[in-house]
Amino acid sequence: MAQQNYSAEMTAKIVSDYQAGVAVEAIAESIEKSVRSVRSKLVREGVYVAKPKAKSTKVMGPTKKELLKDLETTGFEVAGFEGATKEAIERLIAHFGN
């Protein structure tokens, strides 16, 4: 018979600790298991709730394609500038657009 990784008592303890708000990292340390192992066990028990991912700090705005179209309206030939950064295209628009 295969060796059990988590006894019924250990499983009950980690589930109860997790539901009481104890961090997965602290639970893992207390039972000398990896965070990944504890998290996986909590998932298998149906109690783990993933933390929401952090929102992107990416600055939204026009795409490079839109910027190139804007630059093209100034009469500037944009062929070959598809690989330029958004910042470089914005500088060209500022320079030629005025």
Q: Which residues contact 92 (CB under 8 A, 6 or more apart)?
A: 71, 76, 81, 84
% of the chain at pLDDT higher than 70: 94
Q: What is the pLDDT of residues 44-66, one digit of tens each?
A: 999 998 888 888 777 678 888 99
Give residue 97's pLDDT band: very low, low, confident or very high (50, 70, 90). Answer: low
pLDDT, residue 92, reads 87
Q: Which phi and psi angles does 30 have, rounded to 5°?
A: -65, -30
CATH classification code of 1-53: 1.10.10
Which tokens in the block code for residue 4? Answer: 């059990």
**Average pLDDT across the chain, whole number:** 88
Domain assignments of the chain as residue spans, ordered by start: 1-53, 64-97
> Is 42 within 8 Å of 14 (Cβ atoms)?
yes
